[in-house]
Amino acid sequence: MNRALSNPLAQWGCAIIASILLLAMFAPLIAPFDPDAINVKAILLSPSGTHWMGTDGLGRDVFSRMLYGSRISLLVGFVAVGIATAIGVILGAVAGFYRGWVDIVIMRLVDVMLSIPTFFLILAVIAFLTPSIWNIMIVIGLTSWMGVTRLIRAEFLSLREREFVLAAEVLGAQDARLIFRHLLPNSLTPVIVSFVLGVASAVLVESGLSFLGLGVQPPQASWGNILTDGKEYIQFAWWLSFFPGMAILLTVLGYNLLGEGLRDALDPRTTKQAKG
pLDDT given for residue 173 in this prediction: 74
Structure confidence at residue 222 (pLDDT)? 87
Which amino acid is present at 215?
G
pLDDT, block means (10 residues), the chain with 276 residues: 75 90 92 89 89 90 92 88 93 88 92 84 78 83 90 87 79 79 82 88 86 80 86 86 92 90 69 46
Residue 1, pLDDT score: 65
pTM of the model: 0.84
Q: Are 72 and 220 in contact (CB under 8 A)?
A: yes
At residue 248, the pLDDT reads: 92
Contacts of 64 (CB under 8 A, 6+ apart): 31, 32, 33, 34, 35
The domains of the chain are located at 2-275
Residues 6+ apart with CB under 8 A from 262: 4, 7, 10, 192, 193, 196
pLDDT of 272 reads 46
pLDDT number for residue 194: 87
What residues contact residue 42 under an 8 Å CB cut-off, 6+ apart? Answer: 51, 55, 59
Q: Which CATH architecture has domain 2-275?
A: Orthogonal Bundle (1.10)
